[in-house]
Amino acid sequence: MIIRLVSAALVAGFLAAVVATGLQFALTSPLILKAEVFEAQAGKQASLSSPFAHLIVPAHGDAHGHGEGGAAEAWQPAPGLERMAYTGLATLVGGVGYALLLGAVMLALKRVPSPETGLAFGLAGFLTVALAPAMGLPPELPGMASAELGVRQAWWVMTVAATGLGLYLIAVRRVPLTIAGGLVLIVAPHLAGAPLVVDSDSKLPAALAAQFAARSLGISLVFWAVIGLAYGWAWNLFADKAVSGGRSHA
């Protein structure tokens, strides 16, 4: 059972990563590059606005950009092929991880994995992990103002947990009391409010940010749908191979 779970997750995660990575390169990567241009221009304008900007050195670094003890700057992948490769690798790791989680949830709820069941659970995963948090913290481009990372992460975790439990109470339990409780759980994080930065001097066009958020959510929807469909298909595929292998040894 564990081998079958992992094998199906590897297949589903790989297929979803291939599709999502292609969509990212075509739809969201160009927007990120545009945003980085705005970010660089804003930084240059801020430096030119101060006559002493060339004298400013990071608090824990020297004039060559090294930290204490000669440590180098934080590493980042180089633009181009290297950056694309690391983006695809991160998507692959996330896809396999989400597929494992999706399969474990289906088995825990005693649902037999199939393409139809996988698609339903994949859409639930999209609602839980992507859409619900994005209603308070939409996907961000470089240069956009945001609240402190720890606060945003805490709100994201709270929203995902509340939404997942709420969907379980609504879709699985299906009792009036649990449905009402599920709705309350889903709405509660948004009533509490996501951590936002109101005052911002970002020069990033609002239309660009809105386009990026919409495209990111669209890609995430496809990503989760492919994970669910592919997991259900791969689960049955490995079952058929096991049966045929057993017959060949008989």
Q: pLDDT of 155-181, one tens digit each?
A: 999 999 999 999 999 999 999 999 999
* CA gap 57, 122 in Å, rounded: 49
Top pLDDT among 200 and 146 is at 146
99-114: pLDDT as tens digits = 999 999 999 999 999 9
Residue 67 forms beta bridges with which residues? 61
Residue ranges covered by each domain of the chain: 1-43+75-145+206-250, 147-196
Q: What is the DSSP string of 78-129?
A: PTTHHHHHHHHHHHHHHHHHHHHHHHHHHHHTTPPP-HHHHHHHHHHHIIII
Alpha helices in the chain (DSSP H): 2-23, 29-48, 81-108, 115-125, 132-134, 149-168, 176-192, 206-249
Of 208, 215, 77, whose CA–CA distance to 142 is shortest? 208
Q: In whole angstroms, give the CA distance from residue 209 to residue 148.
A: 19
Q: What is the pLDDT of residues 43-78, one digit of tens each?
A: 565 444 444 334 333 334 443 444 444 444 556 777
Question: pLDDT tens, 193-239?
Answer: 999 876 566 778 889 999 999 999 999 999 999 999 999 999 999 88
Q: Under a CB-based contact definition with an 8 Å cutoff, are residues 230 and 15 in contact?
A: yes
pTM given for the model: 0.83
